[in-house]
Amino acid sequence: MISHHIFPNIFPKKWRLFICLSLAVVIACIWTQETALAETTIDFTEINPQIWLKQVLQWIDSQGAIGAIAFILVYIIATVAFLPGSLLTLGAGVIFDVGLGSVYVFIGATLGATAAFLVGRYLARDWVVKKISGNKKFAAIDQAVGNAGLKIVLLTRLSPIFPFNLLNYAFGITGVSFSDYVIGSIGMIPGTIMYVYIGSLATSLAMLDTATPSGNSSIQLAMKIFGFVATVLVTIYITKLAKKALDAEGL
């Protein structure tokens, strides 16, 4: 069963600064939307996360040096708000290429996951408990983290069988320590690189809906295909190792 520890009404000092920074991020993103994003043609009467995120990516692509900061802020909000991070990850490959794109996605995903963890632990505990009630996998995770918190977080990040956004909140109501949770985020790196690489195969944001980039020479295309296959194979291999380890833990 999910642990029901009783938390103090006052946040621990080591988390107060982070919570304040998270609130600042939310305010910054709202301000960004009300100013620069207001200049783009975003129709908020039809709230479609995919379309909205694409428009945000187009705006980020036009911002030059500050685009990276804007991207990270948007990724944090998307993670907390259950918006599809896969589109942002693919978009990072188009805008920033594989190297920087992977770094920015990892930073945004880690900060967003950390914010969701703190919200789940201190602000929305009852909602999270209700949301995952009856889920055997999450119940198993709760039992396992007591003995090997860092290992379990790391393995669940490597394996795609757990929904990323909900998992962030779910860890907040378990006994895993804050430090183990944050360090375990390195498990996101293989999947992040794979998705960013796939995104980099597109020549523009408009091509994210298609799988085949155009306008490349046969040599460039062959290199991209080889890199894509290699990246996928490595990710699959790591995922299988993670799944095997999770099975051994009874998850």
In 10 A of CB 163, how many CB atoms?
Answer: 12
Q: Reply yes or no on whether the pLDDT at 128 is more than 60.
A: yes
- If one compares 144 and 242, the residue with the highest pLDDT of the two is 144
Between 85-118 and 13-34, two packed helices, what is the crossing angle to 10 degrees? 140
Residues 107-126, mean pLDDT to the nearest whole number = 93
pTM, two decimal places: 0.70
In whole angstroms, what is the distance from residue 101 CA to residue 92 CA? 5
pLDDT tens digits for 189-222?
988 998 899 899 887 888 776 544 444 455 456 5
In whole angstroms, what is the distance from residue 128 CA to residue 171 CA? 10
Q: Within a domain: residue 7? A: no
What letter represents residue 180's amino acid?
A: D
Domain that holds residue 222: 13-248
The DSSP call for residue 27 is H
Q: Within a domain: residue 146? A: yes
Q: Reply yes or no on whether the pLDDT at 51 is more than 70.
A: yes
Token pair belonging to 218:
């046969």
Number of domains forming the structure of the chain:
1
Q: Where are the beta strands (DSSP E) in the chain?
A: none
User: CA dist 183 to 15, 61, 151, 156, 203, Å?
Assistant: 16, 30, 10, 13, 34
